[in-house]
Copies of this chain bind each other. A is one copy, B any other.
Amino acid sequence: MARGKIVIRRIEKMSSRQVTFSKRRHGLMKKAHELAILCDVQVGVIVFSSTGRLYEYASSTTTTTMGMPSIIHKYQSAQENHQLLNPVSQIMFWEGEVRKLQQEMQILQDHHRSKFLIQLQYYLSNLNQLE
């Protein structure tokens, strides 16, 4: 949105992606807060970075102090009707959930493995320098 238009697709360069994440995350939280105040509504925002770090915003209105838990609870009751899908699609849903969690776990593991390897290389190079 500045110094050049961009297309909305995954930013490939990791460092730029990190910078943009920081900026736009702040922007999003600010917008969420403004919406909540200006229009006196409840807003909840949850963001998970690719490394699994959690960022959140939960509004309070003039009438109630809604933390994220209350907003989630309200969301879930609002959705209860929807939960009554037929058995087969229910099972398929949970199978999907399991797959997603497994994939995420894999990502976390890869992430930490590479971090560990980098550390190891660092220590080894230090050792080499001491010799």
Contacts and interface: CB of A to CB of B under 8 A. Distances in A.
B31 A9 contact: no
Nearest to A96: B65
B83 A108 contact: no
Interface residues of A, number: 73
* Interface residues of chain A: helix, strand, loop or mixed (majority): helix
Interface string A1-41: 00000101111000001001100110110011111011111
B94 A71 contact: no
Nearest to A61: B50
Given A72-B72, A91-B112, A98-B98, A50 B41 contact: yes
A-B pairs, 8 with minimum CB distance: A21-B39, A87-B112, A42-B48, A44-B46, A94-B105, A64-B100, A98-B101, A24-B35
